[in-house]
Amino acid sequence: MLRKSLAILPALAAGVVLSSLLPMAHAADADAAKAVMRQHQCFTCHAVAATKIGPSFEAIATKFAGQSGEMQTLEKAIQHGEKGTFGATPMPANPTVSDDDAKLIAGWISSLKK
Ligand code: HEC
């Protein structure tokens, strides 16, 4: 009885290690995304939870959540700008954001949905 329950301990331990590593990978992506966004001055117009000149990233995530092509929509808006989704103020194009960085940012924004 005791032997049997001890035998599952390594499996449990592996599970604990794995599930604690996953959020870490996620946090690293979030840090990388935010660093790129600081570089491109996205936070001049956007905040995570508050409306500034542009909508909050949480509002953007929630708006596009679950739509087909959500990632492509976000990536396109980031690189080419967008207007009319949230109001009269347009979002400028950011031609210096690379495809990889646009994907990274879109992934982070989408993770903020409520
Ligand atoms: C000059 C201000 C400004 C800057 C700088 C800016 N944005 Fe925006 N952004 C806006 C506004 C305003 C909107 C709302 C546009 C609309 O209504 O469609 C917006 C919308 C968005 C959207 C949603 C797209 C949509 O359909 O409207 C995303 C995603 C986004 N911004 C990401 C970014 C990222 C990432 C950066 C930096 C690379 C950035 N923004 C820089 C003002 C800005």
CA-closest candidate to residue 45, choices 110, 108, 94, 97: 94
85 CB near ligand 1 (under 6 Å): yes
What's the CATH superfamily of 27-110?
A: Cytochrome c-like domain (1.10.760.10)
Residues 105, 107, 111, 114, CA torsion sign: positive
Going from N- to C-terminal start, the domains of the chain cover 27-110
pLDDT at 23 (0 to 100):
73
How far is it, in rounded angstroms, from Cα 49 to Cα 56?
5
Residues comprising the chain, all counted = 114
26 CB near ligand 1 (under 6 Å): no
How far is it, in rounded angstroms, from Cα 29 to Cα 101?
11
How far is it, in rounded angstroms, from Cα 76 to Cα 94?
10
pLDDT tens by residue, the chain, 114 residues: 556 656 665 665 666 665 666 677 788 899 999 999 999 999 999 999 999 999 999 999 999 999 999 999 999 999 999 999 999 999 999 999 999 999 999 999 999 998
**Distance from Cα 28 to the centre of ligand 1, integer Å:** 23
pLDDT at 4 (0 to 100):
62
**Distance from Cα 37 to the centre of ligand 1, integer Å:** 11
Q: What does the H/E/C string look like for 1-32? A: CHHHHHHCHHHHHHHHHHHHHHHHHHHHHHHH
pLDDT at 65 (0 to 100):
95
